[in-house]
């Protein structure tokens, strides 16, 4: 997922959701802070995209991936150093915002999120090859990045995440929907993953079990959402997020009915991205309207 162009759109959603959550609490938007965080996020995501292609080229898992920037250019070394420079720029912007806001906890959370991005694919860790990529994805894009962006834009301190649980609840929901994208990325490449030693969920458990896990994640998201809505953790206007149900059902039908068909199941990742974006953006709208 980190190596896909889809990651650019996906990566912007934590900031959008965090901004809406902050607005629901403080009733203000900080354009300069938002723009700075957006720029830094783009730079970090470019680093993730490029270096993950570089690292995957070393294992051969991307040998048939036409969209790999390494396969397209053949400049693995140059790409690595350019990406590292962009990471340094992104981290510098994050550090400047953290220093201005005096939010060391938020800075630590962002640093943790970036570190997860490295251990996900980078040597010697390559944790995605051990089948824990979905868990890493949950924390990186969900509780860590989303809550860090919330703290930086709301001006609140870390303990206030409990006092104002809207951001914490939203980050958990976002982490789950983001992880669902990665979970739906393995069906059609089981043979390649197995040959390169990548123990993806589909390799470890089989495509049938993974398709059922996807349905469980989708159901879990709406159950948690419903509980947060009825208990007042999320405002009533957040109910607009239920408009994402059709895309959720489309995803579930696809994976349950076609998980063994490598051709038919290939769009599963795109179905998951559509559901993720629909749910997260509608939730953001609901928070903004509260």
Domain boundaries, position 202: 6-288
Mean pLDDT score across all residues of the chain: 91
Which of 191 and 248 is assigned the larger pLDDT? Answer: 248
| Within a domain: 78 | yes
Does the pLDDT value for residue 95 go beyond 90? yes
Return the sign of the alpha-carbon dihedral for residues 195, 201, 205, 211: negative
Does the pLDDT value for residue 5 go beyond 70? no
| Within a domain: 146 | yes
Whose tokens are 């996020």? That residue is: 41
Q: What angle do CA 223, 228, 232 make, to 5 degrees?
A: 150
pLDDT in tens, 33-78: 999 999 999 999 989 888 888 887 777 666 556 566 766 666 778 8
- Domains identified in the chain, total number: 1
- The pLDDT of 15-44, averaged and rounded, is 96
| Within a domain: 12 | yes
- The pLDDT of 114-121, averaged and rounded, is 94
| Within a domain: 281 | yes
Does the pLDDT value for residue 1 go beyond 50? no
Determine the pLDDT at residue 164.
93
Determine the pLDDT at residue 3.
43
| Within a domain: 132 | yes
Q: Alpha-carbon Rg of the chain, whole angstroms?
A: 19
> pLDDT band for position 6 (50/70/90)?
low
- The pLDDT of 183-207, averaged and rounded, is 88
| Within a domain: 136 | yes
Residue (of 37, 278, 31, 36) closest to 146 by Cα position: 37
| Within a domain: 1 | no
Does the pLDDT value for residue 228 go beyond 90? yes
């Amino acid at each position: 997922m980190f190596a896909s162009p889809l990651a650019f759109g996906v990566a912007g959603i934590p900031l959008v959701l965090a901004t809406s959550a902050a607005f629901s609490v403080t009733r203000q938007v900080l354009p300069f802070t938002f723009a700075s965080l957006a720029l830094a996020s783009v730079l970090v995501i470019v680093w993730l995209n490029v270096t993950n292609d570089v690292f995957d080229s070393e294992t051969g898992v991307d040998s048939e991936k036409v969209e790999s920037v390494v396969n397209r250019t053949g400049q693995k070394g140059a790409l690595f150093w350019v990406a590292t420079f962009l990471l340094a720029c992104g981290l510098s912007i994050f550090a400047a915002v953290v220093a201005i806001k005096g939010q060391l906890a938020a800075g630590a959370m962002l640093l943790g999120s970036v570190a997860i991005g490295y251990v996900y694919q980078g040597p010697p860790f390559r944790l995605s090859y051990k089948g824990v990529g979905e868990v890493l994805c949950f924390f990186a894009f969900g509780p860590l990045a989303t809550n860090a962006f919330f703290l930086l834009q709301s001006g609140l301190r870390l303990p206030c995440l409990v006092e104002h649980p809207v951001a914490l609840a939203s980050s958990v929901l976002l982490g789950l929907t983001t992880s669902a994208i990665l979970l739906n990325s393995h069906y059609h490449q089981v043979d390649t993953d197995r040959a390169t030693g990548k123990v993806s969920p589909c390799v470890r458990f089989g495509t049938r079990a993974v398709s059922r896990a996807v349905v469980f994640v989708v159901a879990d998201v709406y159950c948690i959402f419903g509980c947060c809505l009825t208990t007042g953790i999320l405002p009533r206007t957040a109910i607009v997020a239920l408009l994402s149900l059709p895309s959720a059902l489309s995803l579930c039908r696809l994976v349950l009915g076609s998980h063994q068909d490598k051709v038919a199941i290939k769009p599963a990742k795109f179905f998951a991205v559509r559901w993720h974006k629909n749910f997260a953006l509608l939730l953001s709208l609901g928070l903004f309207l509260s």
